[in-house]
Structure 1
Amino acid sequence: MSLSHQQKVYIPKDVRSNQYITAEIKVTDALLAHFPDYKTCYQTLSRNIFKLADQTELHNVHVITNDKLPVVRFHTEAYCFPTAEQIVFFYNPEYHEAQSLHSQDDYKARKIRIVFLATGEDIRANSASFHIKVQSFLGKLTPLLPEKDLTIKIRDHQHLSYDLFAAAKGNKATYGYKLRSISNRYSARSCPLPEGHGSLCYVTVKLPLSRQLKQSTLAEATDDFTPLYQKLEDAFVQATAAKQLNRVAMVANGLTPLVRNSKYDQVDGTDEVQMLGFDPNIEEQQFISHWDGSRLVEMVSFTIAAGAQDSKDGALGRYLNRVEEALKRLTSELELDRSRDDLIVRFHQHISYQVPEQLIS
C-alpha cells in the first residue's frame, strides 16, 4: 500500500461538516462602568454586534451573556435548547440564519461569548474564509467597544461526523480525505494565525446502552451495573491499546464530555459537564474513566485524542484510520448489529488563541 493511500481516510460521502467560532470577551468592571446596568450593556453591545455581522456577511450569530457553554449540532430544523449550564444549537448550515441574544438581565457575566455558526455549502472547504470574516469582524468591532483594553479569545471548532457502519447499511460511496491540520489549511489560504496558538484533535463516539448490551452482561434484576461498565471499559482499553492510541476516556455518568488541552486549560467538572484534559505532547498512557456502578445511564461516551505527532500533516489520516480500526474491534467485541445500529464518529479539530493587538487594531 502506498504511503499516500495510508495517509488518506475514506469517509462516507454523506459526511456532515460543521464549524463554529466563538469570540470570548472578558467582562471587566471598567467595561460595565460605561452602562447604567447589565441589561443595557448586553443589549447595546448585541445591537452593535448584529449590525456589524450583517455588514461582514456573517449570517448566524448569537451573543451569550449568561456564561452558558455553546454546543452545536446538525439538524434539519433550527432549535435552541438552554439548560442550566449550556445552550445547544441545532441547525442546518445550508438554510438556517439567526441573530439572538441569550442573557439574564441581573446577571454579571464573566465573559461575553459571540458565537458564529458557519453557513452555506462546502463548510470545510470554506472554513478559512469564514475564519477570515470573523477576524475582520473583530477588527471592526473593537473600535466600537467603550472599553479598549479588553482580552478577546478565539476558539475555532470544526468536526466531521459520519456513521461508522454506513457501508453495512448499503451506503458504500466514500471520499478519500487527506486530513490536514487547521493551521496548514489556513496557511494555504492566506488566513493568518498567531504563533503559539493552541490546537487539539480528537474523536468522540456515543454508544447507546441497548437492551441487547444490558442483557448480555447483567442479571435480570440488579442495581449493580458495574459488570456492564467494566466490560465496556476493558473492551475499549484493549481495542485502543492495540492501535497505540494512548489518550482515551470513557464517560458514563450522564455528563457532557468537554475536551481540553490539560497543559493550558483547567479541567474541573461541573454539574453538567465532564472535563477531559489531555496533553498531546506526552506519549505515556492517559486514560480517564468516569462511571458509577450504582447508576444506569442511557449513553456511554468514548473519546480518543490525538497526540502531537498524530496531528502533523500526513499523520491525521493515519490517526483516524487507527481510530476506526479500534472502534470496529470494540463493536465486534460487543456484537453490535452493523446493519441496524448507528455509531456516529465525530472527528474534531480545534484551535484557540488570544487575539493579538495588530489583528484588531
Structure 2
Amino acid sequence: MTIQLPDFKGGLRAYEPRQEPLALTTGSPFTSRTVFSAAHVVADPFADTSPDSSAAVDWDATLAFRRHLWSHGLGVAEAMDTAQRGMGLDWAGAAELIRRSAAEAKAVGGRIACGVGTDQIAAGTLEEVRAAYEEQLAVVEEAGAQSILMASRALAAAAKSPEDYLEVYGHLLRQAAEPVVLHWLGPMFDPALEGYWGSSDLDAATDTFLEVIAAHPDKVDGIKVSLLDAQREVDLRRRLPDGVRCYTGDDFNYPELIAGDEKGFSHALLGIFDPLGPLAAEAVRVLDTGNTAGFRELLDPTVELSRHLFQTPTRFYKTGVVFLAWLAGHQSHFTMVGGLQSARSLPHFVRAYELADGLGLFPDPKLAEERMKNLLSLYGVTQ
C-alpha cells in the first residue's frame, strides 16, 4: 500500500508507509531522570469560535491524552506554551485546565507541574505583574500541583533593570509553599521575551538568573532552560547550587543533554515529548540501566523530527505536535484553539508525517495513512 505525496515540483511521488508501529509498552517508573512532557490541549471542533474568542476545549480528549502520558511514566507539564498559553488559551481556560488536570493526576497517581504566568494582564506595573503571578500561583498550589514560574511578557515589558527581576522573583519564591521550577523561555519561542532577566546579553542574563536561584536555593526545585543552545545549558547547569536540577527544554539537543557527561546531566521538560512520549519513556528506562549508548540509539533518530517541528518560526511547533496527535489517533480531528492548525504549510505536514512514520510513532499506521490522505485531499491532492 502506498500513498501519493506531493513532490512540490508539480507532481506526486509514491511513499510506502511502514506496516507495523514501534513495539513500545508501559513500564516501571524512571529512576535516573525526572521527565516531564509539556502536553497540548485538544480543541472542541464543534464549538462556534473565532481566533479572537476564548478557547473551547474538548476536556475528555485532553485529559485522555494526559492519561496516555502518565501510563508511560512521564510527568505532565501542564498549561505551558505547548498548551498554547498566550496563543489561543487564555488564563480562564488555563486555570480550568490546571484544576481538571491536577484532579486527574491525583486520581491516577500521575506527576504534574503547572505553569504560573501573568497572562490575565496584557501589561502593567511591576506591582500588577507581581499580583498576577500571585493569583496564578495560588490556583496551582490550591490544585495540589507543583508550580513552574513561567517567563512573563508583562514583566519583560515592565522591568527596567535586572533588579526588577530580582525583586519580583524573590517575592514569589519567598511565598511559594513548595519548591518551584523556574522557566527561562527564549525569544525564539516568544519574541516578546527578548531581553529577559534584564539584558539581551545572555551572559549577563544568566548571571541575574543564577542570582535569583542563589538567593533562594531551598525554594527552587530546578530550572527549565529553553534557549536551543546546548553548550550554554551545560555551562549553566554546572553553576547551579547543589540540589537544584536542570530540566532541559532544548528540543534540538535533548539526547546529549539528558545523557549528560562526566560532570552531570539534565532532566527533561520538553514539548517534543508530547508526540514522542512512549518512545522517550522507553529510552529513559534504557538509560536507567546505565546503557547510555542504547538510550542514544533510541532517541538520537528522533532529533530530525523535533528540529523539523520546531523550525522557525519556532513558536508554531504546537501545530505539528497536534497534527501528529491526530495522525496517531489521540484525537478525532485536526483542529486547534485559535485556529492554529493553519500555521504550518502542506510541505511541513508532509515531512512531519514521513519522519514520524519512519520512527514508528503511529500506533495504527493504517489510520495515520488514511488521515494523511484526507488532509491531502483538502489541498487538492488526489490518490
Calculate the TM-score normalised by the size of structure 2.
0.28
Structure with more of its chain in strand, by fraction: 1
Highest RCO, 1 vs 2 (Cα 8 Å, sep ≥ 6): 1
Which is higher, the Rg of structure 1 or of structure 2? 1
Structure with more of its chain in helix, by fraction: 2
